[in-house]
């Protein structure tokens, strides 16, 4: 029931030098790359993408998790015919339980997309 909002991880594999994590293929790269190439989106697509992102984040929060690195590069684009957009969240490596009070003082984020309350 959550797969529609998140990129599917098909497993993981290692060799002595690397960790491999094959994921679902999203044919239109990521939102950051798309915006750099096209500069803008029509208003109806912005609405659809925003709604889908909020649905995915809502699912995470309902289950007690926070993404912690939401940025255009972590939003992968799939297109559903005819011309409708579908996006999926990826790169959940920094996500944590919202209630995690582990005492860690290390802050990890992407500076340009950091939440204002962390500044």
Helix (H, G, I), strand (E, B) or coil at 72: helix
Tell me the sheet residues that pair with 78. 86
Q: What share of the chain is helix, strand, coil (3-state, %, to 5)?
A: 35, 20, 45
Is 112 designated active site?
no
Q: Which residues of 57-86 are buried (b: 16+ CB within 10 A; e: fewer)?
A: bebbeeeebbbbbbbebbbbbbeeeeeebb
Instruction: Spot the catalytic one: 30, 62, 69, 91.
Output: 69
The residues carrying an active-site annotation are: 69
């Amino acid at each position: 029931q959550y797969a529609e909002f998140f990129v599917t991880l098909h497993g993981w594999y290692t060799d002595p030098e690397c960790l491999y994590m094959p994921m679902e293929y999203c044919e239109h790269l990521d939102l950051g790359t798309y915006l750099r190439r096209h500069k803008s989106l029509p208003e109806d697509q912005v609405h659809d993408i925003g709604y889908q992102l909020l649905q995915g984040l809502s699912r995470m929060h309902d289950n007690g998790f926070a993404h912690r690195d939401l940025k255009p590069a972590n939003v992968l684009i799939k297109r559903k015919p005819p011309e409708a957009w579908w996006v999926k969240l990826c790169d959940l490596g920094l996500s944590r339980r919202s209630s995690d009070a582990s005492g860690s003082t290390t802050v990890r984020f992407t500076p340009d997309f950091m939440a204002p309350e962390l500044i």
